[in-house]
Amino acid sequence: MKNYFSLNRGWLRASWLLPLAFCGALNCNAASKKIVVGFSQIGAESGWRTANTESIKSEAAKRGIELKFSDAQQKQENQIKALRSFVAQGVDVIAFSPVVVTGWEPVLREIKKAGIPVILSDRAVDVTDDSLYVTFIGSDFVEEGRRAANWLAKARSGKAVIAELVGTPGSAPAIDRKKGFEEILAKNPGMKIVKSQSGDFTRAKGKEVMETFLKSPEAKEINALFAHNDDMALGAIQAMEEAGVKPGKDILIVSIDGVRGAFEAMAAGKLNCTVECNPLIGPQLFDAAEAIMAKKKLPKRTAVQEGVYEMSQAAAELPKRQY
Ligand code: AHR
């Protein structure tokens, strides 16, 4: 990994040197210098994302970190603009949750040249040079896909005709969840996906796409739904009810995230299983930012601990959900 603490423009900024000079006279120390973090968020497409944003903002405030937060409204070009503006503002650390996996190399090179360390939050990027970021903090999306398929294989005794609501095309969770799910399907020849389309991780799109699935020639045989996130599953539940199909019974539903709305749907008997994807990574994110500032070495990847919840556990779990 490139040593970000070598002499470069980022570390020679006046914002660092001035407090040090004053502190010498006033007997304070450099640790009291406010860390400035630029964070580019994808948007507000799901309940998960809202909880993630809240975790990041509240943790920064708790630690006295100055957070420059930018919402990209689901557009990569907006994220790239935000990253460049963080460089221009001379922040100490840049963190971001990349909307898609590809297309980051040029801007990451610019950031590296400016000597600013990068933390990837929640989603990974596809780059040939992994020195372009210091660390990646996020879930194992492939494993989440495996967990969803394993649950379904058990619930349907290895036989299922599946409709799939895919996440944002080209995003790490959409690619990896599909990969993990299909890995388990390959071991269960009685399970097949007959419909698959993106619902862009939103409730509205999930509903819209499920409506088209329910009007398709395959509609009658579909007995399971795999939604890459809870919001799309919640939209699909609405579509099923409007079409006279009983969600959770006629069609078993497994989705990913573990948001409160999914637990409510499970408690109401409409959703069968949610695989947890924890959005509350603000504390880990700023632990990493502080470690970088303290010149500590970090692992290239930090995973998040997560569980799997079924309908039968929903009522007991619901009061404990934090998001
Ligand atoms: O990257 C995490 C995914 O992004 C969540 O599963 C989804 O709800 C969000 O939009």
pLDDT band at 33 (very low <50, low <70, confident <90, very high): confident
Contacting residues for 176 by C-beta, under 8 A, at least 6 apart: 140, 141, 142, 144, 145
Ligand 1 mean position, distance from CA 94 (Å): 20
Q: State whether the beta carbon of 257 lies less than 6 angstroms from ligand 1.
A: yes
Phi, psi for residue 49 in degrees, rounded to 5: -65, -40
Assess whether the C-beta atom of 229 lies below 6 angstroms from ligand 1. yes
CA neighbor of 72 nearest in space, from 101, 37, 96, 36: 96
Checking if the pLDDT of 87 tops 60, the result is yes
Question: Residue 70: pLDDT band by 50, 70, 90 thresholds?
Answer: very high
C-alpha 282, offset from chain centre: 12
* Spatial separation of the C-alpha atoms in residues 116 and 291, rounded to whole Å: 14
Decide: 123 in ligand 1 pocket, CB within 6 A: yes
Is there an atom of ligand 1 within 6 Å of 168 CB? no
Does the C-beta of 41 come closer than 6 Å to ligand 1?
Answer: no
Does the pLDDT at position 13 exceed 70? no
Given this model, what pLDDT does residue 6 score? Answer: 38
Please determine, for residue 133, whether its predicted confidence score (pLDDT) is greater than 50.
yes
d(CA 19, ligand 1 centre) in Å: 40
Beta strand segments in 29-166, E: 36-41, 66-71, 93-96, 118-121, 135-138, 160-166
Q: Of all atoms in ligand 1, which is nearest to the CA of residue 277?
A: 6
Tell me how far apart the alpha carbons of residues 80 and 106 are, in angstroms, rounded to a whole number. Answer: 10
- Segment 266-296, tens digit of pLDDT: 999 999 999 999 999 999 999 999 999 999 9
Strands 301-303 and 135-138: parallel
User: What is the band of 24 on the pLDDT scale with cuts at 50, 70, 90?
Assistant: very low
Mean pLDDT of 138-166: 98
Q: How far apart are CA 250 and CA 239, in angstroms?
A: 13
Question: For residue 192, what are the contacts with CB-CB under 8 A and spacing of at least 6?
Answer: 160, 161, 162, 185
Q: Which atom of ligand 1 is nearest to the CA of 168?
A: 10
Q: Who's near 276: CB < 8 A, 6+ residues apart?
A: 256, 257, 258, 306, 307, 308, 309
Q: Using one digit for the tens of pLDDT, what is the confidence trace for 35-67?
A: 999 999 999 999 999 999 999 999 999 999 999
pLDDT digits (tens, 9 = 90+) for 298-317: 999 998 889 999 999 999 99
The stretch 6-29 carries a mean pLDDT of 42
**Is the pLDDT score of 17 beyond 80?**
no
Mean pLDDT of 226-240: 98
Range 233-244 average pLDDT: 98
For the Cβ of 49 lying below 6 angstroms from any atom of ligand 1, the answer is yes
Q: What is the pLDDT of residue 305?
A: 82
Angstrom distance (rounded) from CA 141 to CA 134: 20
Q: Higher model confidence: residue 28 or residue 264?
A: 264
Question: Which of 40, 45, 49, 230 has most ligand 1 atoms within 8 Å of its beta carbon, as the pocket-test mutant?
Answer: 49
- Mean pLDDT of the chain, nearest integer: 92
Task: Decide if pLDDT at 187 tops 80.
Answer: yes
Strand pairing report for 273-276 and 308-310? antiparallel
Q: What is the DSSP letter of 174?
A: H
Q: What is the reported pLDDT for 300?
A: 97
pLDDT at 12: 37
The size of the chain, in residues, is 323
- What is the reported pLDDT for 31? 52
* pLDDT at residue 3, as a whole number: 42
Is the overall model pTM greater than 0.85, yes or no? yes
Tell me what the mean pLDDT of segment 84-93 comes to: 98
For the beta carbon of residue 27, count every other beta carbon within 10 angstroms. 6
Are 121 and 98 a contacting pair, CB within 8 Å?
no
